[in-house]
A and B are shown apart, each in its own frame.
Chain A
Amino acid sequence: MANVGIHVRREESSYWREWLRENGSRLLLFARQQTRRQEDAEDVLQEALVKLARKVEEGSFVGGQKAWMPFLYTQIRREAIDLGRRNDRRKRREDIVVEDEKLQGGPDESWFECAGYGDERRVLLEKALKELPGKFSEVIVMKLWGGRTFAEIGDILEISMNTVASRYRYGIDALRKNLSGARFRGDL
């Protein structure tokens, strides 16, 4: 019986690995958007994944595999909010670190891989996305790279579908204006 248990365990193990290879990058992007540091992103992602694994293995997860991603987006967001609250005490010290990083050009925490066209443009788009208020960028990240519908995003954020759609449009428009400004300044 022990051998059977080990066998099943190994199968599950490789399954999670394959599943992470397929979906991990999208979740990591969302976790990065929700947090201020790469380490925090990894922490909140891990917390969310552990909760999923626990629910799945206990048989208490409702909705089947299709519901895993919406669950994880919701969970990552909650974990990030919790983490933000816990870190409030250290906020001042972190702000100093962030200021230092800005002065030094910031850490190399690129959210995206090279897209095949002018990397300068990608860098500007990424920078503009990072500078957007979180309520706009989270919608854009979930819609474009998470493949979520406005209705699903509304469920995750607990807001109406119309609000999601308007935040999405406003966010894209803000990116456009930012890029136009860059063109005007001669950055492009």
Chain B
Amino acid sequence: MDPELQKIEAELERMSPGSMPEGMISRMEAAMEGWRDVSWQDEEAKVVPFPRAKEETVPQEEKSGRYLWAAVAGMALLGAVAGMVMIPEPVPAGIASNNSEIQRNSGSSGVRLKPGAVRTIELAPKTAKRTIVDATERNVIIPNGARPLRLMRVDLVDRVMFSSPGGEEFHLEVPSVNYQLVPAPTD
């Protein structure tokens, strides 16, 4: 190397990097000791690539369809059970009178149906849809030594429409609440 450049190099080498203050050493040491507290914050979870990497490019319809049909199957089962239990024939007069009699005798408030008063129907799911009704920002959480995270509340409604062999339509709505932690930008 050029002697003049070597001179600059030597000059630079004589400069010492500013030492790490004791307070910073303590903070770094504490963070290194406490890695277990933030181990859930994996690299994969921190940044969600968009668009996704090539190896993950399963056709979206195929992917979501699989989950959709799993959800639909679950809903169908739920619907069938609900259909068995909750759809009685119009209550005959005998039941009503029996019921009041039973209530009088036992003090129970339960409803008893005569065998045969319940019929089973088969329901086929026709459509299933998940809708985000509302999303609200909640508190910012700062885990020990980790980046700040914002708590998000997401209100969802799953709507499934079933149809019976007779052409009747049954609509099922299942509201749910989901909480998610997302990285919060800080100044």
Number of A-B contacts (CB under 8 A): 109
Does more than half of chain A's interface fall in helix, strand or loop, or is it mixed?
A: helix
**Is B93 positioned at the interface, with any CB of A under 8 Å from its CB?**
no
* Cα distance A17–B28 in the bound complex, in angstroms: 8
Give every chain B residue within 8 A of A139 (Cβ-Cβ). Answer: none
Q: A25-B20, A176-B5 are in contact. Are A122 and B15 (CB under 8 A)?
A: yes
Are the CB atoms of A25 and B4 closer together than 8 Å? no
B27 and A29 contacting across the interface, CB-CB below 8 Å: no
Residues of B within 8 A of A80 (CB): none
Tell me whether A46 and B5 are in contact in the complex, defined as CB-CB below 8 angstroms, given that A21-B20, A25-B19, A144-B12 are known contacts: no
Shortest Cβ gap from A176 to chain B (Å) = 5
Are A111's CB and B18's CB within 8 A?
yes
Bound Cα distance from A106 to B4, whole angstroms:
31
Whole-angstrom CA separation of A64 from B187 in the bound complex? 37
Contact A117 B35 (CB under 8 A): no
Residues 6-45 of B, flagged 1 when their CB comes within 8 A of A and 0 if not, give 0011011111111110001111110111010011000000
Say yes or no: is A76 at the interface (Cβ < 8 Å to chain B). Answer: no
Is B1 located at the chain interface by the 8 A CB criterion? yes
The residue on B at minimum CB distance from A14 is B29
Q: Indicate if the CB atoms of A16 and B29 lie closer than 8 Å.
A: yes
Q: State which size class the interface on A falls in.
A: 35 or more
In the complex, how many angstroms separate the beta carbon of A28 from the nearest chain B beta carbon? Answer: 5
Q: B28 contacts which chain A residues (CB < 8 A)?
A: 16, 20, 24, 45-46, 49
A13 / chain B contacts, CB cutoff of 8 Å: 29, 33
Q: Are A125 and B25 in contact (CB under 8 A)?
A: no
| Contact (Cβ within 8 A) B16 A113 | yes
A46-B31, A90-B185 known; A113-B25 Cβ under 8 A:
no
Q: Does B58 count as interface, using CB distance less than 8 angstroms?
A: no
Q: Is B65 an interface residue (CB 8 A)?
A: no
- CB pair B14–A115 under 8 Å, yes or no, is yes
Within 8 A of B (CB), among A111-147: 111-113, 115-117, 121-122, 125-126, 129, 140, 144-145
Chain B residue numbers with a CB within 8 Å of A126 are: 15
Residues of B within 8 A of A115 (CB): 14-16
- In the complex, whether A169 has a CB less than 8 A from a CB of chain B is yes
Given A53-B33, A89-B185, do A24 and B39 touch, yes or no (CB 8 Å)? no
Quick check: B39 and A125 within 8 Å, CB to CB?
no
- The contact of A113 among B17, B183, B185, by CB within 8 Å, is B17
Are A144 and B8 interface neighbours, CB within 8 A?
no
The residues of B that contact A129 with a CB separation of less than 8 Å are 12
Q: Measured between alpha carbons, how far is A50 from B38 in the docked complex, in Å?
A: 9
Pairs A-B, 9 closest by C-beta atoms:
A24-B20, A53-B32, A29-B17, A54-B35, A112-B15, A25-B17, A115-B15, A25-B19, A113-B16
Could you list 5 A-B pairs, sorted by A, with CB under 8 Å? A25-B16, A82-B46, A117-B14, A140-B12, A179-B8
Residues of A bordering B, CB below 8 Å: 9, 12-13, 16-17, 20-21, 24-26, 28-29, 42, 45-46, 49-54, 57, 82, 86, 89-90, 110-113, 115-117, 121-122, 125-126, 129, 140, 144-145, 169, 172-173, 175-176, 179
Where the two chains meet, the residues of B that have a C-beta atom closer than 8 Å to any C-beta of A are 1-2, 4-5, 8-9, 11-20, 24-29, 31-33, 35, 38-39, 46-47, 145, 183, 185, 187
